[in-house]
Amino acid sequence: MIKDKSYNAVMSRNNQIMKKAIGIDYDLFESGGIAFDYEKMMREAGYSLDEIQEIQGSTGVGNTPILELRNLTALARKYAPKGKGARIFIKDEAANPSGSFKARRAANAVYHAKRMGYKGVIAATSGNYGAAVASQAAMLGLKCIVIQECYDSKMVGQPEILEKQRVCEAYGAEVVQLSVGPELFYTFLLLLEETGYFNASLYTPFGIAGVETLGYELVMQFREKLGKDPDKVVITHAGGGNVTGTARGIIKSGAENIQIVGASVDLSGLHMASDHDFNRKSFTTGHTGFGIPFATWPDRTDVPRNAARPLRYLDRYVLVKQGEVFYITEALSVLEGLERGPAGNTSLTAAFALAQEMDEDQIIVVQETEYTGAGKHPMPQISFAKQNGIEILFGNPDEEVPGKNIIFPESPGKIKVRDYDLEKARKSYINNAVKNNGKDEISSHDFKFLINDTKGEEEFVLSTLDELKVTVKQ
Amino acid sequence: MKKAEIGDWVQIHQIVLKPEERGVNIPDDTKNVPLELWVKGFAQNEATIGEEIRIKTVTGRMISGTLHQVNPKYIHNFGEYVPELTKIDMQLKEILFGGEADD
């Protein structure tokens, strides 16, 4: 039988294609409304922490070192009030086989695919996850296709994404490159249907549970090394999996007082699906273009229910500017002797500012680093920005306008975090949940779910629903 | 090299969606251009650049498109030198270590 391959026909087969490509019956966790049983999904569709440690350990993933950044701490203290300036640490996730924490996510997904008898895996990603899936597929002997949004309509590619293409091919994967646009999903569905491969989505319970080991391991390392838990963990936030997985692992370690801080690069004003804006971003991930939409509506991905639900775990969400992150990337290199890639440096920039609010004996941890090199380094990124007409200045980073300029702080003292109001994010989430549900009355079960899914106070959720003219059925 | 022989490693190009076939809710600048695709594989027939060609990808898929490049090279690098970054490096060392570091 020849299937209709037109856009509308393929999109209408989405559920059927995904069920076959993921092998999870998501209906088992649904209750017919807004709510679904998140913990049941994580428990029954995922793996236990012990199992994951074993799976990851078998391919050399995890157990990455914790490094103290003494010079960066000393620099932060120069700008902090007396007695302030927490010790800054990083978890060197670049030590994973594919050079980033994404190896943890991929190890689980690819292991599962192999166990279920799939011949290959497909991942839709322009980021490090592609390299991670390709690397794991190579180790486990599965075929691998990575689909990436790579070029604008003039076939000009963001240098960082071009590097991701190279590295995926280096690990033996087929890389399908597309021009800008969300219809990448159509090509993704066509490929899943054609090949029968596993959808190694970033957002399945396997992928997210894979990151739990990071949070768990981190706490154990601090207990061993310093005899205490860190005070804050800063996590670069994009699609929500890094925040969700790390925080779940921290909870599983029994640590109760660690503040979970998400950090993104502020790219406000740039449209993520715009052909024109595509190459005016100097960050391909860890930015607000993913961070905010994925927090305020997680179920927008390539799976029916997203296992990454960052609002459940975030205590604080802060934004930093592009120029600040490049500045801190240089500082990590020249003051600490660690040349690392862009993603973790977003949370490191936030940590540099946040440390100055904390006492000297406190500990702040940045939970990832990633590999760097051609395409990913600040040099190609800044020179690409210049080619695209972006002005490079020194001054006040608060005046940076994404797509127009990049402002390096004139002094490290100018680096700061800007708090993103989590109440606003929670409101937006509730609004999306209600709107997508299409009802003006929700069940008390749904009400409880909204409280849990937003980490919101009961009263706050109720008053938000009230503003939306939605009542809760008793 | 403008011509691909059978077995050569090549990159092909396809138009996935014409502008009028593109999805809804996308910005106009994106909607006005086609959704394009590039993929690499081994040539299954001879062709010159711009001609129709069939390839076998590394996963074994057989697909067709127009020939874009033969032995496509990676073009990303470290870009032009960015002196602003050196300025940052020197400033950081000066602040933390004073003059000593540069002596």
Spatial distance between the Cα atoms of A430 and B92, rounded to a whole number of angstroms? 45
Asked if A181 lies within 8 A of B78 by C-beta distance, the reply is no
Four-CA torsion A16, A18, A20, A26, nearest 10 degrees = -90
Domain region containing B53: 3-75
Residues B81-100 have pLDDT tens digits of 999 999 999 999 999 998 65
Strands A316-320, A405-409: parallel, antiparallel or unpaired by DSSP? unpaired
* CATH number, domain containing residue B23: 2.30.30.760
- Is A231 within 8 Å of A358 (Cβ atoms)? yes
Nearest CA in chain A to B22: A183
A172 chain-B contacts, CB cut-off 8 A: 58
Angle (nearest 5°) at CA B86 between A364 and B74? 90
- Is A87 within 8 Å of A133 (Cβ atoms)? no
DSSP letter for each residue of B5-27: -TT-EEEEEEEEE-GGGPPSS--
Q: How confident is the model at residue A437 (pLDDT cuts 50, 70, 90)?
A: confident
Neighbouring residues of A462: CB distance < 8 A, sequence distance ≥ 6: A447, A472
Q: What is the largest CA-CA distance in chain A?
A: 74
Find the length of chain B: 103
Beta strands (DSSP E) in A60-142 are: 66-68, 87-91, 120-124
Mutate to test the interface with A, among B92, B94, B100, B102 (most CBs of A within 10 A): B92
Nearest by CB to residue A162, choosing from B60, B75, B91, is: B75
Spatial distance between the Cα atoms of B34 and A156, rounded to a whole number of angstroms? 15
**What are A36's two structure tokens?**
């679904």
pLDDT of residue B100: 56
Asked if A75 lies within 8 A of B92 by C-beta distance, the reply is yes
Q: Is the pLDDT of residue A198 over 50?
A: yes
R_g of chain B computed on alpha carbons: 23
Give the pLDDT mean for B34-51.
98
> Is B44 a domain residue?
yes
Q: Is the pLDDT of residue B103 over 60?
A: no
Output the CA–CA distances (angstroms, integers) from residue A159 to A126, A384, B78, in the order listed: 11, 8, 9
pLDDT of residue A106: 97
pLDDT of residue A417: 98
B69 chain-A contacts, CB cut-off 8 A: none
Q: Is the pLDDT of residue A66 over 60?
A: yes
pTM summary value: 0.96
Q: Which residue has the tokens 């129709």?
A: B52
Q: Provide the 10 A C-beta neighbour count for residue B13.
A: 17
Domain count, chain B: 1
Residue type, B55: I
Q: How confident is the model at residue A460 (pLDDT cuts 50, 70, 90)?
A: very high
Mean pLDDT over the full length of chain A: 96
The DSSP element (H or E) to which A164 belongs, if any, is helix A159-170
Q: How confident is the model at residue A269 (pLDDT cuts 50, 70, 90)?
A: very high
Q: Is the pLDDT of residue A297 over 70?
A: yes
Complex prediction ipTM: 0.95
Strands B62-70, B52-56: parallel, antiparallel or unpaired by DSSP? antiparallel
> Is B101 a domain residue?
no
> Is B95 a domain residue?
no
> Is B99 a domain residue?
no
Residues A230-262 have pLDDT tens digits of 999 999 999 999 999 999 999 999 999 999 999
Q: How confident is the model at residue A124 (pLDDT cuts 50, 70, 90)?
A: very high
Report the sign of the C-alpha dihedral through residues A80, A86, A92, A93, in that order: negative
pLDDT of residue A45: 79
Q: Is the pLDDT of residue A354 over 50?
A: yes
The proportion of chain A whose per-residue pLDDT surpasses 90, expressed as a percent, equals 93
pLDDT of residue A46: 80
> Is B82 a domain residue?
no
Asked if A166 lies within 8 A of B74 by C-beta distance, the reply is yes
Write out residues 163-192 of A within 8 Å (CB-CB) of B.
163, 165-166, 169, 172-183, 186-187
Alpha helices in chain B (DSSP H): 28-31, 83-97
Spatial distance between the Cα atoms of A36 and A29, rounded to a whole number of angstroms? 5
Nearest Cα to Cα of residue A327 among A72, A111, A103, A27: A72
Write out residues 293-332 of A within 8 Å (CB-CB) of B.
326-327, 330-331
Hey, is the C-beta of A78 within 8 angstroms of any chain B C-beta?
yes
> Is B71 a domain residue?
yes
Residues A204-232 have pLDDT tens digits of 999 999 999 999 999 999 999 999 999 99
Give Cα A42 distance to the centre of its chain. Answer: 18
> Is B94 a domain residue?
no
Q: Is B28 helix (H, G, I), strand (E, B) or coil?
A: helix
Q: Provide the 10 A C-beta neighbour count for residue A182.
A: 17
Helix (DSSP H) and strand (DSSP E) numbers for chain B = 2, 6
Residues B11-26 have pLDDT tens digits of 999 999 999 999 888 9
Asked if A174 lies within 8 A of B88 by C-beta distance, the reply is no
Q: Provide the 10 A C-beta neighbour count for residue A122.
A: 30
pLDDT of residue B99: 61
Nearest by CB to residue B96, choosing from A74, A326, A333, is: A74
Q: Is the pLDDT of residue B102 over 80?
A: no
Residue type, A94: A
> Is B53 a domain residue?
yes
